[in-house]
Amino acid sequence: MGKPIVQRIKTLESKSAEVGAKLGKAADNLGLVTQPELFDPVLNGLKRVRGLEGLSIDSKGVLDFRNTVLASAETAGDRKAIQSIFTQAIKGGSGKSKHLLRQELFEVLGGKKKALTAITDTQSKAYQAIRQALSDVLDGKSAGYKALNKEYATLQGPIRDMKKLLKLPGETDEDLVNMSAGLLARRLTSMAPSNPQIRGILRALDQVTKTKGLTTTSVETLQDFYNILDKYYNITGKTGFQGQTKAAIDASSIKGIVAGVVKKSVGQSDAVRRKAVEDVLNEVFKAK
């Protein structure tokens, strides 16, 4: 059930890597970015973060957090981290260096470094604000960079949303990813509150490229098929590894399913057995 989701994610990750490589090359031609170009966008971006509206800067160019939610001794680490990134962000240099700083912030926000150290919500939003400010400045330097930057962000959005929904920590075994995606797919034909959210993310995965994907249709068809099997063919243990493994084996082919239906009706007349097979096949094709 989860295979179409996993395959679509892989396709989009491959496309995203391709666009990311082009974006990196475009960054090589951005030229220099001066401190005056960077200062106001970065500072104003930080001041738009809830809780940091009162942020100011002293005569030495140091951020003053006294009128923000990060004013106490308990948030000294946050202040230090934001100050460090701010200093790097407003420093004049090559457009390439600011592009790389954006990428570094993306890695932090993506969780690869976040897992190693505590990071508060305000600090995370401050990093995102700085990243967005750098993006806006660099977009203004090159229309080509701006177009590629937008395409990369469009690809990354649904990938990130789906991975968050799967709740899988970083790189993991593909079988586990498939199983987690399969369990998620089952909510599409249930009354689960997350049904609309899952459906929306699947549609975003399908629509994010010029060539539309068929993930939503494929997952729904497979899930309908599974539900029919559950009605006619005793698929047990819907939760847990044993039940999922058994379901995968039992549902491996229509031939096996039909054989199972016939086996269940041993001792019945040919007409009864034929009717049982016809019923299951009719519902399968009706669902498709």
- Interval 195-251: pLDDT, tens: 777 777 778 888 887 677 766 666 666 665 666 555 555 544 444 444 444 444 444
Residue 117 region by backbone torsions, left for phi larger than 0, else alpha for psi between -120 and 50, else beta? beta
Least confident of 2-6, 237-241, 259-263: 237-241
Comparing CA positions, the residue from 214, 186, 188, 211 lying closest to residue 199 is: 188
Calculate mean pLDDT across residues 92-115. Answer: 84
pLDDT confidence of residue 179? 67
20 within some domain: no
How high is the pLDDT of residue 288? Answer: 45
pLDDT for res 108: 83
| Domain membership flag for residue 81 | yes
Closest CA relative to residue 100, chosen from 114, 85, 115: 85
Q: Rounded to whole angstroms, how far apart are CA atoms 219 and 216?
A: 5
- 130: in domain: yes
**Contact present, 148 and 156 (Cβ < 8 Å):** no
Per-residue pLDDT for 132 more than 80? yes
Report pLDDT for 171. Answer: 52
Residue 56, in any domain of the structure: yes
Going from the C-alpha of 94 to that of each of 23, 133, 197, 199, 271, the distances in angstroms are 15, 16, 41, 42, 79
Going from the C-alpha of 218 to that of each of 67, 192, 196, the distances in angstroms are 53, 19, 17
Q: Contact, 42 vs 86, CB < 8 A? A: yes
Mean pLDDT taken over the chain: 78
Find the DSSP H helices in the chain: 3-27, 35-47, 76-90, 95-110, 121-139, 143-166, 174-185, 195-207, 215-232, 241-250, 254-264, 270-287
β-sheet bridge partners, residue 64:
56
Calpha distance 105→129 (Å, rounded) = 10
Q: Output the pLDDT for position 46.
A: 97
Q: Which residue in 245, 247, 165, 158 sits closest to 207, CA to CA?
A: 158
The pLDDT value recorded for residue 115 is 56
Q: Are 243 and 236 in contact (CB under 8 A)?
A: yes
Structure token digits, residue 141? 């330097």
Give the pLDDT confidence score for residue 280 in this predicted structure: 62
**What's the rounded Cα separation, in Å, for the pair 98 and 213?**
34
Residue 91 located in a structural domain: yes
Cα-based distances in Å from 80 to 83, 172, 210: 5, 33, 43
Spatial distance between the Cα atoms of 206 and 214, rounded to a whole number of angstroms:
6
- Global pTM value: 0.69
The total number of structural domains in the chain stands at: 1
Residues 175 and 168: their CA atoms lie apart, in Å, by 12
Which 3 state secondary structure label does DSSP give 113? coil
**Would you state the pLDDT for residue 133?**
97
Which of 55-59, 173-177, 254-258 has the highest mean predicted lDDT (pLDDT)? 55-59
Query: Please, which residues have CB within 8 angstroms of residue 122's CB and are 6 or more apart in sequence?
Result: 49, 50, 51, 52, 69, 70, 75, 78
CA dihedral defined by 155, 157, 162, 163, rounded to 10 degrees? 90
Q: Is residue 272 part of a domain?
A: no
Using CA atoms, how far apart are residues 240 and 232, in angstroms rounded to an integer?
21
Q: Print the domain residue range for 68.
A: 30-141
Q: Which has the minimum average pLDDT: 58-62, 147-151, 257-261?
A: 257-261
Residue 53 lies in a domain: yes
Task: Give residue 91's pLDDT.
Answer: 95
